[in-house]
Amino acid sequence: MKAQRMRPGDPRRFFSTAQFYRLHAASGGELVSEPTSPVHAKEMGTRLTVCGLPADNWFKYCDLPFDNDPSDRCPECVSVLAGLRRNHSSQ
């Protein structure tokens, strides 16, 4: 099976990032980071969030998809990614 390359703008290329976070011990003693500021979407390899904020030194949640919990997400990032998903699914 041939791997499919993701095009720039493909919604699967985005991950969550937050400017502020806290560390706490989860059950089992694992140290976990939790965002304490709005979560933004950021595309791999870029300096800016989807809404245009510089996020060079923000904490990156590469294993956390942007749409896991919309309650703490940046509304502008949510809106832009919704448009990308519509465009991507129609291609």
* Domains held by the chain: number: 1
Match 């990156």 to its residue by tokens. 60
The stretch 53-61 carries a mean pLDDT of 94
The stretch 31-51 carries a mean pLDDT of 91
Question: Could you count the other beta carbons within 10 Å of the beta carbon of residue 16?
Answer: 26
Asked if the structure places residue 68 within a domain, the reply is yes
Domain limits at 53? Answer: 13-89
Asked if the structure places residue 77 within a domain, the reply is yes
Q: Tens of pLDDT along 2-17?
A: 445 555 556 567 889 9
**58: alpha, beta or left? (left if phi > 0; alpha if psi -120 to 50):** beta
Asked if the structure places residue 1 within a domain, the reply is no
